[in-house]
């Protein structure tokens, strides 16, 4: 079975502390961002990469099933966003936000391009990973090696339903203490059953890389609990600030030039049908695919979900559809 290689890229470690000025460098100066590279093409320098970016409290191994399907054709890069998985935690928790994550992705892409020049970049972003992708794809002046060609937005858009944010806010940051992986998997299922039907084996595989061992033999979730601080601050935003944020996201979306596929869980509470419809009418005019019986967000484990994404990314019939 194909397995990924774990790599790291150095990213600036910026903190509001340091010399006392916002944006100053911390004493450490740099931190490591982990990324998992899948490649079964026979060419270690294959110039076509698909970047897969995970959701808020998840990590790069979420994409194992999809990556195995893509790896014979392209290089698949699955980063652990800062504070998650094998990546270092930020010294300033207030920077656990999309602008920081997008800046880190630019560093990663530049690193990959310097090692082996890239000719084609595609992006798959689940929830938060989709927002990061909007920031990368929706700002034409960013120093990308090449523009993103095809973009899969997984169950997220410029309008985020506040009821979903409230639901997520009830558990994010609570990394817990569990006796075993199975106990952790059971606890994660209790707050994640909206991901849709999974066999016990599929769910355990998704959870395996979500935990790290503790000295007493137990496990805890593999992310910095402080990622919850900026997220929960969203709940205190005045209506004017929330509306301005939504307008800014629409502006990013409208500037996306990549061919765009919008995947939506048919029962999603984060991406409404009306927002999904609007995304098909403006900007890149995303093509919408919905999966019945799934909420927020499809995991790309089920064969039909994998097929939709691989057909979009690897097929030629999509040229010019936008």
**Residue-wise pLDDT tens digits, 71-93:** 999 999 999 999 999 999 999 99
For residue range 280-306, list pLDDT tens digits in order. Answer: 999 999 999 999 999 999 999 999 999
CA-CA-CA-CA torsion sign (90, 102, 135, 64): negative
Indicate whether 7 belongs to any domain: no
- CB under 8 Å to 155, separation ≥6 — which residues? 126, 127, 130, 263, 264, 265, 268, 270, 271, 296, 297, 298
- Strand order across the beta sheet in which 148-154 lies: 5-15, 24-38, 75-79, 48-53, 120-126, 148-154, 259-265, 287-291
How many folded domains does the chain comprise?
1
pLDDT band at 54 (very low <50, low <70, confident <90, very high): very high
Kindly report the pTM of this predicted structure. Answer: 0.93
Measured between alpha carbons, how far is 71 from 42 in angstroms, rounded to an integer?
Answer: 10
Task: Give the gyration radius of the chain's Cα atoms.
Answer: 19
* Mean pLDDT of all residues in 90-107: 96
Local confidence band at 308 (pLDDT 50, 70, 90 cut-offs): very high
Residue 148 class from Cβ within 10 Å (0-12 exposed, 13-18 middle, 19+ buried)? buried
Distance CA 12, CA 26 (A): 9
| 187 domain-assigned | no
In a domain, 276, yes or no: yes
Q: What tokens were used for 268?
A: 């999603």
Q: What is the CATH number of the domain that holds 119?
A: 3.40.50.1820
With residue 201 as reference, give the H or E element that holds it. Answer: helix 200-208
Which residues of 183-244 form beta strands (DSSP E)?
A: 211-213, 219-221
Q: Report d(CA 121, CA 111) in Å as an integer.
A: 14
DSSP class of residue 178 equals: B
State the pLDDT at residue 190: 94
Residue 15, beta-bridge partner list: 24
Residue 128 lies in a domain: yes
Does residue 68 lie in a domain region? yes
* Site of tokens 């999509």: 318
The answer to whether residue 196 is domain-embedded is no
190-229: pLDDT as tens digits: 999 999 999 999 999 999 999 999 999 999 999 999 999 9
Distance CA 208, CA 60 (A): 12
| Rounded Cα–Cα distance for residues 50 and 110 (Å) | 14
Residue 65 included in any domain = yes
Domain that holds residue 280: 32-173+223-314
Structure tokens at 312: 């979009």
- Note whether 259 and 318 are within 8 A (CB): yes
Give the mean pLDDT of 155-176: 93
Query: Residue 4: is its pLDDT beyond 90?
Result: yes
Judge whether 145 lies within some domain. yes
């Amino acid at each position: 079975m194909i397995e990924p290689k774990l790599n790291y890229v150095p990213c600036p470690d910026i903190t509001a502390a340091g010399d006392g000025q916002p944006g100053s460098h911390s004493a450490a100066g740099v931190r490591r961002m982990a990324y998992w590279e899948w490649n079964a093409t026979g060419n270690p320098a294959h110039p076509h990469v698909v970047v897969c970016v995970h959701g808020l409290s998840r990590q790069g191994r979420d994409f194992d099933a999809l990556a195995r399907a893509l790896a014979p054709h392209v290089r698949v890069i699955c980063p652990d966003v800062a504070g998650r998985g094998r990546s270092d935690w930020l010294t300033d928790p207030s920077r656990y936000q999309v602008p920081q994550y997008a800046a880190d992705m630019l560093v990663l892409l530049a690193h990959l391009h310097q090692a082996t020049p890239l000719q084609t970049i595609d992006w798959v972003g689940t929830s938060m990973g989709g927002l990061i992708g909007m920031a990368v794809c929706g700002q034409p002046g960013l120093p990308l090696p090449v523009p993103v060609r095809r973009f899969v937005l997984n169950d997220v858009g410029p309008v985020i339903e506040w009821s979903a944010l409230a639901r997520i806010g009830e558990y994010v940051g609570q990394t817990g203490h569990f006796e075993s992986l199975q106990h952790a998997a059971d606890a994660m299922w209790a707050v994640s059953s909206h991901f849709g039907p999974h066999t016990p084996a599929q769910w355990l595989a998704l959870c395996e890389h979500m935990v790290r061992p503790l000295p007493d033999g137990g496990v805890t979730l593999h992310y910095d609990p402080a990622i919850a601080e900026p997220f929960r601050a969203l709940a205190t935003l005045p209506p004017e600030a929330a509306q301005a944020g939504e307008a800014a996201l629409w502006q990013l979306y409208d500037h996306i030039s990549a061919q765009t596929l919008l995947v939506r869980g048919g029962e999603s509470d984060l991406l409404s049908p009306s927002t999904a419809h609007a995304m098909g009418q403006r900007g890149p005019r995303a093509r919408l695919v919905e999966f019945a019986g799934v909420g927020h967000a499809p995991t790309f484990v089920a064969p039909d979900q994998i097929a939709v994404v691989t057909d979009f990314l690897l097929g030629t019939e999509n040229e010019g559809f936008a």
